[in-house]
Amino acid sequence: MLMTDAIVPAAGPARNVLLIVGGGIAAYKACELVRLLRREGTGVTCVLTESGARFVTAMTLAALSENPVHTTLWDLKNEVEMGHIQLSRAADLVVVCPATADLMARMAAGIADDLATTLLLATDKPVLTVPAMNVRMWLHPATERNVAQLRGDGIAVMEPDEGEMACGEYGPGRLPDPAEIAAAIGEMLGGRGVDFGGETLGGLSGGMIARAPERVETALDDIDYFAGSEDPGALFVDEEVPEELTTEELAAQERADEEPAAPLDLCGPLLSKKGKAKSAPPTDPEAINHIVKSDPEAAPEPFVENPAEAEGAAAVPPGEPAAPEPSAPEPSAPGPATTEPAATLAEPAPDILAGQPDFAGTDPANLPLYGKRIIVTAGPTHEPIDPVRYIANRSSGKQGFAIAAAAQRAGAHVILVSGPVALPTPPGVERLYIETARDMAKAVEASLPADCAIMVAAVADWRTTEVSQGKMKKRRSAPPHLVLTENPDILTGLAAGGRKPRLLIGFAAETDDVIANAKGKLKSKGADWIVANDVSGGTGKSVMGGDDNTVHLVTSAGVETWASMPKDEVAERLVRRIAEKLAEDV
């Protein structure tokens, strides 16, 4: 049975979107959103805020959107014609993506202090806001008020996705997938959807976007050519039936398609028309290495990473064709980099998320400390005597860092207040660097409120009343006279303060009567638990600086003695007990 192709026509005229890109790590997804909209045929004009330009470049957005990118209100050429007013009126829809907490607050307050907020205040078109921020910022009462105000003003605000974030926390605040944003845009503009590899976009991609024709196979024997018409000839009046090509014509057409296109003549009196940009201009060294030559007219020299290899390389014989230049890669969604020969690639940009944990597939139900905020102190403190000397102790910070890492793996947002130690920050942990006991006390206070605080740091008990501005010199008659005063007791201050965490844990480093001293500290400090250990060993044998620990967990219910084990295992066991205790108190 013969088959033929029926063409489903595209529907509706193209529309235009004005996209405001705010400052945030999610700004890179705006590039994918532009690519999706342009692939459908939607016109996109981008406005890049000053903060947004720290995450994506105007060149990238210009290449993807095929339109100039607007970055400032003080553009003399555009503002002569009130460019910000024209921008706000020319689009069919204004989209703010990503919308940071700061940008949404300024929108809610009606502030117009830059190009983005000015055109948002001046527009008479619908506005769609797509928030992206930290979970606590999204749940903050101020943000909730701003969202309510924006919605009351008639601005559509998408709900953010819930999931893991670049900062290591988990919860609502993630920017939705670009396909979902495009679907929301389509709903606001109306029309039918288009299937994007399983993602169905709204009317933006259907009712108003010209698409490639959809081919539908139809059996000729199944067509009723004369249905609804008395004149059989009327069937062919309104449509043109293309002539069928012969085999020879088809072969000639295929050969023509394979032939390289003729080079453009850029020397003529007319400027070339702008083409369909597929990617940002290449930035590899081979494309620009001619700018350092003394003769600006000279052609670029081949770029070779190893000059010695270039000297020994054989020259291309006359008449032989040179190897084709590699084409610039097309921009795509973030993912694994494509492997290319080293000589044709520029140095890769540093990954700003390097070292952050991979939460893919993590179920919050399996994270016992999910949503909890935990403060951990670690390491020693240094109390200066003069610019050279200080009072300190042998704490390495290993136990505190291990506890911080274990709590983060259990789903908690961990703030690690660390003294001077040579340890890397655990992935996903927020680290605050301090030096003195008073610095640590201030940092802990600033990190409240918290569900749990674990005071592991070996804080110096004393400091000098005065710090010498110059190095103190030896004296023949007697050593320098140092007047000492007590440092603040951070653990006691937390227990007595009005914002005491639900679970407050102190550490006791003792050399004798370990358990008795720990019980006394539990009562005098006002802590819920005390983790005591014996630090009486000499250099190389002490818990301080070592990899193992033997601890006693002292609570109001009694004393648990844990056998000697690596500090990582002590941390895991302690975190499990913390999770159980916090779950009991709910």
416 and 168 Cβ atoms separated by less than 8 Å: no
Q: How far is the C-alpha of 466 from the C-alpha of 484, rounded, in Å?
A: 9
Look at residue 286 and tell me if it is in a domain. no
Look at residue 424 and tell me if it is in a domain. yes
Q: What DSSP string describes 53-69? A: GGTS-HHHHHHHHTSPP
533 and 514 Cβ atoms separated by less than 8 Å: yes
205 and 213 Cβ atoms separated by less than 8 Å: no
Q: How far is the C-alpha of 563 from the C-alpha of 570, rounded, in Å?
A: 9
Helix (H) or strand (E) holding 34: helix 28-40
Look at residue 237 and tell me if it is in a domain. no
Q: What is the pLDDT of residue 186?
A: 79
Q: How far is the C-alpha of 503 from the C-alpha of 164, rounded, in Å?
A: 25
**pLDDT digits (tens), the chain, 586 positions:** 333 333 223 344 568 899 999 998 899 999 999 999 888 878 899 999 999 999 999 999 999 988 999 988 876 455 545 566 778 778 889 999 999 999 999 999 999 899 999 989 888 899 999 999 998 899 999 999 999 999 999 999 999 998 877 777 788 899 999 999 988 887 887 753 333 333 333 333 333 333 333 434 444 444 444 444 444 444 444 444 445 556 666 666 666 655 555 554 544 444 444 444 444 444 444 444 444 444 545 555 554 545 444 444 444 444 445 445 444 444 444 444 444 444 444 455 555 445 544 544 456 778 999 999 999 999 999 999 999 999 998 899 999 999 999 999 999 999 999 999 999 999 999 999 999 999 999 999 999 999 999 999 999 999 999 998 998 888 776 777 889 999 999 999 999 888 999 999 999 988 889 999 999 999 999 999 999 998 876 555 567 778 889 999 999 999 999 999 999 999 999 999 999 999 986 6
Look at residue 75 and tell me if it is in a domain. yes
Look up residue 392 and give its two tokens: 């300190």
Look up residue 269 and give its two tokens: 């009196």
Could you tell me the CATH number of the domain that includes residue 544?
3.40.50.10300
Q: How far is CA 213 from CA 6, 7, 288, in A?
A: 9, 6, 41
Q: What is the pLDDT of residue 13?
A: 56
Show the 3-state SS of 325-371: CCCCCCCCCCCCCCCCCHHHCCCCCCCCCCCCCCCCCCCHHHCCCCC
Look up residue 115 and give its two tokens: 């190009």
Could you tell me the CATH number of the domain that includes residue 193?
3.40.50.1950
19 and 33 Cβ atoms separated by less than 8 Å: yes
Note if 267 is an active site residue.
no
405 and 384 Cβ atoms separated by less than 8 Å: no
Residue 37: domain span: 7-206
DSSP 8-state symbol, 305? S
Catalytic residue among 97, 167, 267, 452: 167
At which of 164, 179, 206 does a domain end? Answer: 206
At which of 172, 206, 240 does a domain end? Answer: 206
pTM: 0.43
Helix, strand counts (H, E) of the chain: 18, 25
Look at residue 460 and tell me if it is in a domain. yes
At which of 206, 225, 245 does a domain end? Answer: 206
Look at residue 510 and tell me if it is in a domain. yes
Q: Strand runs (DSSP E) across 145-289, as ranges?
A: 156-157, 161-164, 170-174, 194-196, 199-201, 214-219
DSSP SS3 for 49:
coil
Could you give the number of structural domains in the chain?
A: 2
Look at residue 324 and tell me if it is in a domain. no
Look at residue 104 and tell me if it is in a domain. yes
